[in-house]
Amino acid sequence: MGGLVRDIAVRWRIGFQRRLGFHPPTQAELMALLTGLQMCKQQGFSKIMVFTDSIEAIRLVETEGGANHFLHTEITEIREHIYSDWDISIKYARRSALQCADMMAKKAQVIHEEMIYWQRPPRECLSQLQDDMALATISASNF
């Protein structure tokens, strides 16, 4: 899985890649959301806009998943972050608008480390990052 954090001016703040092995796509998406939220908390951000291409992940987080749902732990941890003292919104975006995060997630399957943090965008991600800027700029101005 992979993801990135930008500030309100759409500048790269930090990115991550984590080797997961095999997990269902929705579980991987929820784990990426949780990792991103944890990173935002560590960075001291208090106003956060999260983008995901998984409508299912949004539905699970925003509605009652039930104590017996097999992803209950991930859902509960994400909700604890959302309902804390943060200003968080979760929005759907097409995968084509999240190319850098998608590329980082795909390449995470072959990394040797369990987790990598990126202080600067990976070189392979720079062109996708520029393409993603339009979405981030429009969305940030609506936040």
pLDDT tens track for 69-88 = 888 888 999 999 888 888 88
List pLDDT tens digits, range 26-67: 999 999 999 999 988 888 888 888 889 999 999 999 887 677
| Domain with 102 in it | 5-141
Q: What is the CATH number of the domain that holds 29?
A: 3.30.420
What pTM did the predictor assign? 0.83
Q: What is the 3-state secondary structure (H, E, C) of the chain?
A: CEEEEECCCCCEEEEEEECCCCCCHHHHHHHHHHHHHHHHHHHCCCEEEEEECCHHHHHHHHCCCCCCCCCHHHHHHHHHHHCCCCEEEEEECCHHHCHHHHHHHHHHCCCCCCEEEECCCCHHHHHHHHHHHHHHHHHHHCC
- Which pLDDT belongs to residue 140? 47
- pLDDT exceeds 70 at position 134: no
Q: How many domains does the chain have?
A: 1
State the average pLDDT for the chain: 84
